[in-house]
């Protein structure tokens, strides 16, 4: 298992806080959570189904392949997502170059237009291809983007969890976020996003957590828009870690020509 420098600091802090029942610092809990959720293994290949369901129960279904590779040990990553279904968006591909302490680079390839479009940094909180997840939800946010406070310890669905409040430092679409983070595994099991009036906007839930090749993985996740009733459910059907993805797969060339044999 590889740890970014930030996660190593968090793990050391968590270990040193174990004596006399002392609670760890909120920043260390969130750092470990980001590591567990976004950085398991050195790389990852996943076959994924996404269901977009409106308040009337009408459903749209999408099938994707997700590739991820970690670059070095400082937290830099590459993401590639290819859409297999439905037919009207087949061939659409999305790519992220994620940098620690800097704005990420994001591109999307639209096959109908044969166009690669760069996604502006300001759009990172926009909907990811019409779902209730944002572009930032897909590749993660920076620890330093928010101020974190530990507000409690409790049990959620039989798992001991830390409850952490995170307030963004910049003006974004939410005013605060509450997270329920698994004490043992470090994964976020639930998140609630609130607007400036204190109204609940969105809720993330981890519906299924499985151990895959030694890594605890959220294999079923849902984002619910609490104001429209729309929700997006994502299921990871196949998850593989440490498959040896090459860095050059994450390039504009492969946005237009999906890399075989990883995308089939």
Average pLDDT, stretch 151-167?
Answer: 97
Structure tokens at 119: 């996604």
Residues 6+ apart with CB under 8 A from 181: 29, 30, 33, 161, 162, 163, 164, 187, 188, 189
Q: What is the pLDDT of residue 13?
A: 54
pLDDT band at 144 (very low <50, low <70, confident <90, very high): very high
Structure tokens at 189: 């099991």
Residue 156 buriedness (CB in 10 A; 0-12 / 13-18 / 19+): middle
Closest CA to 219 of 194, 200, 236: 236
pLDDT, tens digit, for every residue of 31-43?
A: 999 999 999 999 9
Q: At what angle do helices 5-16 and 26-38 cross, to 10 degrees?
A: 130
Closest CA to 80 of 103, 104, 101, 106: 106
pLDDT, tens digit, for every residue of 182-205?
A: 999 999 999 999 999 999 999 999
Whether 220 shows a pLDDT value over 90: the answer reads yes
CA distance 80 to 91: 12
CA distance 202 to 178: 11
């Amino acid at each position: 298992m590889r740890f970014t420098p930030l996660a190593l600091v968090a793990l050391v802090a968590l270990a040193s806080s174990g004596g006399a029942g002392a609670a760890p610092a909120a920043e260390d809990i969130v750092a470990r959570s980001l590591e567990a959720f976004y950085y398991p293994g050195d790389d990852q290949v996943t076959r994924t189904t996404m269901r977009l369901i409106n308040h009337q129960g009408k459903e749209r279904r999408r099938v994707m392949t997700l590739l991820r590779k970690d670059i070095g040990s400082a937290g830099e990553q590459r993401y590639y997502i290819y859409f297999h279904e439905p037919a009207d968006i087949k061939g659409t591909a999305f790519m992220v170059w994620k940098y620690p302490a800097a704005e990420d680079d994001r591109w999307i390839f639209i096959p109908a237009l044969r166009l690669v479009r760069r996604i502006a940094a300001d759009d990172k909180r926009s909907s990811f291809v019409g779902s209730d997840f944002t572009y930032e939800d897909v590749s993660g946010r920076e620890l330093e983007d928010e101020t974190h406070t530990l507000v409690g310890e409790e049990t959620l669905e039989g798992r001991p969890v830390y409850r952490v409040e995170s307030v963004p430092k910049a003006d974004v679409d939410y005013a605060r976020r509450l997270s329920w983070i698994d004490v043992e595994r470090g994964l976020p099991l639930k998140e609630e996003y609130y607007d400036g009036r204190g109204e609940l906007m969105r809720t993330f839930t981890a519906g299924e957590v499985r151990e895959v090749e030694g890594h605890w993985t959220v294999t079923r996740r849902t984002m619910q828009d609490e104001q429209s009733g729309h929700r997006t459910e994502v299921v990871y059907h196949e998850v593989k870690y440490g498959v040896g993805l090459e860095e050059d797969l994450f390039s504009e060339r492969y946005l237009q020509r999906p890399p075989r044999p990883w995308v089939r």
